[in-house]
Structure 1
Amino acid sequence: MNPSLSLVHTIDESQLEQLHRLYGKQWWSQGRALEDIRTMLVHSSRVYALIDQDTGRLVAFCRVMTDFVFRGMLHDVMVEDDWQGQGVGKQLMEAVTRDPDLSRVQSIGLWCKPNLVPLYQKFGFEQANADYCWMQTGSLITATHAPASP
């Protein structure tokens, strides 16, 4: 755990602008409008942000959508490039998996690229049953939009 980072569950205005820039760096979320991110935050069940206490900089973020009993979905796990490889992603995931507000949720799911499966397995996530398909409407995120795995 990085002692210079503090966990917050709300985002202030300066952090919102930082979050907007962080979304802009992701292959799957470029072009999101600041106002849409503001609305998303209001309607997310739980928000997790790690803030550098020395600078006030938002260095990591994710959110969970849930009914707090049966199902939850982890979204938008992001760590600033210059903080990667320092255990910040682990610290963020521990905040989610140890959150007492989520302790009753029977199942939390997430989508990730194949190279990230081992990371999430460390926190108890397993690959879902291949007999079921993810279905969605609206804008699709496909592998053709994703950069090649490192």
Structure 2
Amino acid sequence: MIFWKAFFQNSTVGESSEKNFKNIFLLDKTCDKIELKDIYLSSTKNINLYELEQLCDSVGWVKRPLKKVKIALKNSSIIISLIQKNDSKTRLVGFARATSDNGFNATIWDVVIHPDFQGLGLGKVIMHQLIKQLRQAEISTITLFAEPDVISFYKKLGFIKDPDGVKGMFWYPR
């Protein structure tokens, strides 16, 4: 993993609050993989843990204890989900969250888009929304950890390797 930072010293962000569900697309077309209809952006912290686990499984992430995932969600300052609504059914197709000291720094975690929906710009939608909300809270340093295969995605969004040369350090129980 590589440690990345985005610095937003003098930038401003538009609109303030979001409703619980905000329609971001109403596409009546079919992509190669899936028909895209009624995809909503949600900022609720009330996430179905089993749906989140299925989403993470779909991209091959290691299973995490649901009890700990629930705690992580509770302690997240921002949660963004993408939900596809068809008739009376909903499906979690994207997710990300951020933690913060609510003063200076925030870290983005768990950015995931279902494989059927990857390559359609939904990851950018989630990231832009997270950054927007963090900037509205006047957070100036936003960090994340990225696997090598997704570094180019984050670079396109303005994330850079720490310009001060600070290397992230980790402590793990032995």
Task: Name the TM-score, length of structure 2 as normaliser.
Answer: 0.69
- What are the equivalent positions in structure 2 for 1:120-135 lying under 5 Å apart? 120-129=154-163, 131-135=165-169
- Identify unmatched segments of 5+ residues in structure 2: 1-23, 27-37
Q: Would you say the 8 A contact 1:97–1:123 is kept in 2? A: no
- Identify unmatched segments of 5+ residues in structure 1: 141-150
Percent identity between matched residues is: 26
CA shift at 1:84, angstroms?
Answer: 0.7
Q: Which has the higher contact order (CA 8 A, sep 6+)?
A: 2
Which amino acid in structure 2 is aligned with residue 20 of structure 1? E
Superposed CA offset, 1:89-110 (max 9, x none)? 1111121122266440010011
CA shift at 1:37, angstroms?
Answer: 1.2
Which has the larger share of helix? 1
Partner of 1:36: 68
Select which of 118, 126, 129 maps to 1:92.
126
Task: Name the TM-score, length of structure 1 as normaliser.
Answer: 0.79
Which has the larger share of strand? 2
Larger radius of gyration: 2
- The 1:100–1:10 alpha-carbon spacing in structure 2 relative to 1, beyond 3 Å, is same
Which amino acid in structure 1 is aligned with residue 44 of structure 2? T
Which amino acid in structure 1 is aligned with residue 69 of structure 2? I
Q: d(CA) in 2 for partners of 1:11 and 1:104? A: 21
- What are the equivalent positions in structure 2 for 1:1-150 lying under 5 Å apart? 2-3=25-26, 4-12=38-46, 15-27=48-60, 29-54=61-86, 55-99=89-133, 102-129=136-163, 131-138=165-172
